[in-house]
Structure 1
Amino acid sequence: MAAFKECLHMAIRQRVTLLLLREPYVGAISHVTCNRRVIQKTTSNRDKPLKSAVIVVDPTYLILENPEHVSENIVGFIVKIGKLVVGIINAYLEKDGNIEDDIRKITRILQDMDTENVILTGDFNARSLWWGSRAENERGLLLSEMIAELDMNVLNQGSDSTFYQY
């Protein structure tokens, strides 16, 4: 919990707008609590705690959330910056979960958002050469097919770290 508070304080000091969390420490309450707006599926199910949450650190921009786009593992929402509309999806896909179902959920959320400006972040537990893995597995193949079909771009830079851990 101390690491989470340190991360939040650093985000506030650096004027970060959003913290996109995956596998956050939630303790016995099974969801994230803090003094900022949290976009998450609030649950008390300790057997299935949430794996994805978003903290709105700086509420300068209009954030629109649709409860249908929020589950324990996937959080989708819209950010409006003036006339610019950006859809953001933060996902944690369980390595033993059905990735085809997850891909359908993500695709449906993207379609519902109805914007060409999208950022998809996550821990997909999938390997593909597209994002710096040495080999590709079935999950990586299915995810890269979705990315290609949606005409999205992978921004990972080889083996550069794509996350920060506190």
Structure 2
Amino acid sequence: MHGGPGGVATFLPELSSGEARQSGIRVFQCADDGSGTVKAAVIVFDADLHITQYPKLTTNNISVVGIRVRSREIILVSFYFEPNLPMDSYLAHLRRVQRETGSRSIVIGGDSNAKCVWWGSPVTDRRGEELHGFLEDLGLCLLNQGETPTFDTIRGGERYSSYIDITAVSPDLLGLVDGWRVREDLTNSDHNAITFLINTKHINTNTIRHTTRKYFTKKANWAQFREKLGQIKTQEHFTIDTIKNIQTHAQLDSTITQLNDIIQKTCTKTIPLTKHREVLAMQT
């Protein structure tokens, strides 16, 4: 994470707690101990930014560092969850990160290999349910929005895409985040890059703004909002019968999730985001 305007923080899943320097760039990842391939790292482009390493919390699949913003520390976590391994140990490790760092300000980003409607997937699998429940339990807020897949590649002449890379922050940082989006033009990886901005101007010793405000509603065109809402509801086959036909708790949860997603998509397409720009972060 970079401390000034236009700076970049990279959460890099799939890249051994060691620090490597090259041309002023610092890479924080698990020290190479011969235990396997390192698949997560945090890359810092600002030579003046104060970084705290957490070697005991950093593994081949989870990299943890702290950055100092004035007198407050923000914890950055980059992760890669193996698709063929259970989520339990990974989620337990993230709980340990939150507990042992003692920081209420945290940003996590990485490849979850989990599908959930909450971060754009058309379906929710068991891994997605586990991860979503974990994020809710820890009170973390998802930043994912929009319709661009985070994984997108061509294999054997066929296109494969999915929404498996997530970004989440603690509530105290949510009001400081702006412009989260998936970028298809930054890397040659089969995973698209994710960029967002963190405004550090309002962070001080005693207070951080606590707000979930993401959209600049004063600039909203409500006629356009209503029109786009109707279009997306039609595309998603969401009608009054969708609500009338609810018979189980599972159907209710699914319907609420679908409606929230429709509203968020509509807001993203018709209402400008709030403008608080200072720190640019990138996840890939």
TM-score by length of 2: 0.48
Tell me what 2:45 maps to: 57
- Residue 12 (structure 2) aligned to one of 3, 21, 34: 21
Structure 2: 5+ residue runs without aligned partners? Answer: 151-181, 189-284
Q: Which amino acid aligns with 1:125?
A: N
Hey, what does 1:82 align to over in structure 2?
70
Q: Distance in 2 between matches of 1:141 and 1:158?
A: 20
Superposed displacement of residue 158, structure 1: 3.5
Note the 1:87-98 alignment, pairs <5 A.
87-98=75-86
2:277 maps to none
On the 8 A contact 1:87/1:115 being kept in 2, the answer is yes
Partner of 1:7: none
CA contact (8 A) 2:75 2:107 kept: yes
The Cα offsets for residues 8-52 of structure 1, whole Å up to 9 and x where unpaired, read as xxx9xx95343221113xxxx9x996513221112264x821100
For residues 63-74 of structure 1, the aligned pairs below 5 Å read: 63-74=51-62
Pair 1:96–1:132, CA change in 2 (3 A): same
2:270 matched residue in structure 1: none
User: Which structure carries more relative contact order (alpha carbon 8 Å, separation 6+)?
Assistant: 2
Distance across 2 between alignment mates of 1:125 and 1:159: 18
Cα distance between partner residues in 2 of 1:102 and 1:86:
20
Q: What is the percent sequence identity of the aligned residues?
A: 23
Q: Does 1:42 align with 2:31?
A: yes
CA root-mean-square deviation: 2.5
Question: What is the SS of the residue equivalent to 1:68?
Answer: helix
Question: Partners in 2 of 1:158 and 1:18 — Cα distance?
Answer: 21
Partner of 1:113: 101
In structure 1, distance between residues paired with 2:131 and 2:144: 14
CA distance in structure 2 between the aligned counterparts of 1:127 and 1:115, rounded to whole angstroms: 28
- Secondary structure at 1:136 match in 2: coil
Question: Which blocks of at least 5 consecutive residues in structure 1 are unaligned?
Answer: 1-10
Matched to 1:158, the amino acid is G
Instruction: Indicate conservation of the 8 Å contact 2:66/2:73, yes or no.
Output: yes
Q: Is the 8 A contact 1:86 1:115 kept in 2?
A: yes
Whole-angstrom CA distance in 2 between matches of 1:22 and 1:43: 16
1:124 to 2:115 alignment: no
